Every structure is written in C-alpha cells, then in structure tokens.
Amino acid sequence: MNAKNLRCFCKGDARDEKKGFTPEQTKLKAVWENPHIASVCSEMPNMAILHANVAASLDQTELSLRDKQLMDRYG
C-alpha cells in the first residue's frame, strides 16, 4: 500500500457499507495495519473527530485484501 497516497476509496462522508467505517477511519486503519509505519499524527480539531478516531482504534475489524487493493487502485 502506498503510504503517501491514502485517499479513501469511499465516496464523500459515506461509510463503508460492510464495515461501517468513514473514509477517515478507513485511512487510519490502513496506516495502523501497515507494519512499515511506526507512528501516526492525526489532526483532530474537534471532539467529533476525536471520538471517530477512538472508535476506529477500538474496532477490531481489519481491512480486507480487497479494501486494500481498492485503496491502492484509487488512492
């Protein structure tokens, strides 16, 4: 996965229908699952984004191979 190109394959603010992730949560999960990335600095200018990031971090659902392929293709 190209770490510099992590634009989500989801449209707008829509959630991934299967997993319930927002595009931003999908990006975070992709980074967290990448063993080549040691740390992440995520801008969280309000409590809603903080709560969404916490929810993504607590959700144990992993991105599928297809999810990652789509991110590579459209990212």
Q: Is the dihedral of CA 39, 70, 17, 60 positive or negative?
A: negative
pLDDT at 18: 56
- Name residue 15's amino acid: R
> Is residue 7 very low, low, confident or very high in pLDDT (cuts 50, 70, 90)?
very low
pLDDT at 19: 66
Contact (Cβ atoms closer than 8 angstroms) between residue 74 and residue 3: no
pLDDT at 11: 40
CA angle 62/32/65 to nearest 5° reads: 40
pLDDT for 19-74, tens place per residue? Answer: 678 888 888 888 988 899 998 888 899 999 899 999 988 988 888 888 888 888 87
pLDDT at 75: 61
Every domain of the chain and the residues it spans: 1-75
